[in-house]
Amino acid sequence: MPSLVESLGNFISSIFHAITAVLGSIVAVFQSIFNAILGVIQTALSAVGTTISGLAHTFEGLVKFFLSNIVVIGVLVAGFAGYTYYQRSQGRAVTTNKKVS
């Protein structure tokens, strides 16, 4: 039969173990909340980074398109400028043919 002192020691030891377990559980809850918040922030920053990367790739493709078709674009701009110059030299304004009532 255990002695009274030994039983009291076991009782105090179990109280301390229970308190330690409760404090450990509280810390675990706060850690999980903190990890969830960091996960949301990480996801948001990842989404922003992916969006910026997508925009950069889009503009890169647009610049490559314009550079590969610079001759065609130049011919179109030169044609429009020549047509505008021709119309002005003939004394006509460059307008659309809309009837005004």
Q: How many domains does the chain have?
A: 1
Q: 18: which 2 tokens?
A: 């229970």
| pTM of the entire predicted model | 0.53
Classify residue 80: in a domain, yes or no: no
Q: Rounded to whole angstroms, how far apart are CA atoms 29 and 6? A: 35
pLDDT of residue 66: 86
pLDDT in tens, 25-69: 999 999 999 999 999 999 999 999 999 999 999 999 999 988 888
Residue 87 CB neighbours (<10 A): 13
Percent of the chain topping pLDDT 70: 89
Classify residue 77: in a domain, yes or no: no
What residues make up the domain containing 10?
A: 4-67
Classify residue 8: in a domain, yes or no: yes
pLDDT of residue 94: 65
Classify residue 82: in a domain, yes or no: no
Phi then psi for residue 100, to 5 deg, are -105, 125
